[in-house]
Amino acid sequence: MKKGIHPEYFDCTITCSCGNVIHTRSTRKEIKVEICSKCHPFFTGTQKIIDTAGRVEKYRKKYGKKT
């Protein structure tokens, strides 16, 4: 690697608003995030389908499995 063209690489602490702390390496020493894989609804399985004006049911009726 050429000297003087690459940024400094530090041990990094990523802190989520839920309190989860992740240790990794980055060009920044500290990163604060609002949502992480511990509290994100997609990863926790608490994701809910919000049905606005029957769109989900209409989609399921049109494209769902045929019985």
pLDDT digits (tens, 9 = 90+) for 11-56: 999 999 889 999 999 999 999 998 888 887 777 777 666 666 777 7
Q: How far apart are CA 62 and CA 56, in angstroms?
A: 10
Within the chain, strands assigned E span 10-16, 21-26, 30-33
List all residues 6 or more positions away from 46 whose beta carbon is below 8 Å from its beta carbon: none
Are 34 and 15 spatial neighbours (Cβ–Cβ below 8 Å)? no
Range of the domain at 32: 10-63
pLDDT band for position 63 (cuts 50, 70, 90): confident
Number of domains the chain is built from: 1
In a domain, 1, yes or no: no
pLDDT of amino acid 26: 95
In a domain, 22, yes or no: yes
Tell me the CATH number at 35.
4.10.80.400
